[in-house]
Amino acid sequence: MPGTTSKPRRKSASAAVPPGPAKAPALTHFDAGGRAHMVDVGDKDVTHRVARARGSISMSPATFDRIRDGGVAKGDVLGIARIAAIGAAKRTSDLIPLCHPLPLTRVAVDFELDAAGPAVRIEVVAETRARTGVEMEALTAAAVGLLTVYDMCKAADRGMRIGALELVEKSGGKSGPWRAGG
């Protein structure tokens, strides 16, 4: 008819519609009003919880050689970085505002020297028997360990790059085990 406009036809409800993205899990550190809060873990079971995190710091070959050979004037770079990482795991709730303080039962810190990088890799395992996980403790420890390497070597190499900080796996609690990439 002249003077009328046609409306686009709607697809019927039975028409095939590709599925949308999966609904993202709720962010537990926000209440229904969107305000930040500390998650209530009082009703969770105390279980053995473990988290493993890793990261790396790349550097010039000369800086790598000095770390490997113990030629840094400030001392044993990896020994001091190990102590810093353990201390950081213990202080995580002081640094991350909504993180619960946890009674850590173990923090293990290992370094790997990668001459091909050249880089230093860190791996941290944190454990507890608690009502919430230790992912943040493992990640914080790895980050501070790498930052300590940077701090101890920055006079020789301000171009070092920290990267690949990640949670590798975690276990314990209601959600069960989780592993990166799988």
Whether residue 149 is predicted with pLDDT greater than 90 in this model: the reply is: yes
Give Cα separations from 44 to 112, 130, 139, 171 (angstroms). 36, 9, 22, 15
30 located within any domain: no
- pTM (global) more than 0.85: no
Domain of residue 103 covers 47-172
Query: pLDDT at position 19, please?
Result: 60
150 located within any domain: yes
151 is catalytic: yes
Catalytic position from the list 65, 94, 151, 157: 151
- Number of structural domains in the chain: 1
80 located within any domain: yes
137 located within any domain: yes
62 located within any domain: yes
Provide mean pLDDT across the span 130-150: 97
Query: pLDDT at position 59, please?
Result: 98
Instruction: Tell me the β-bridge partners of 49.
Output: 128
8 located within any domain: no
Question: Which domain CATH number covers 133?
Answer: 3.30.70.640
35 located within any domain: no
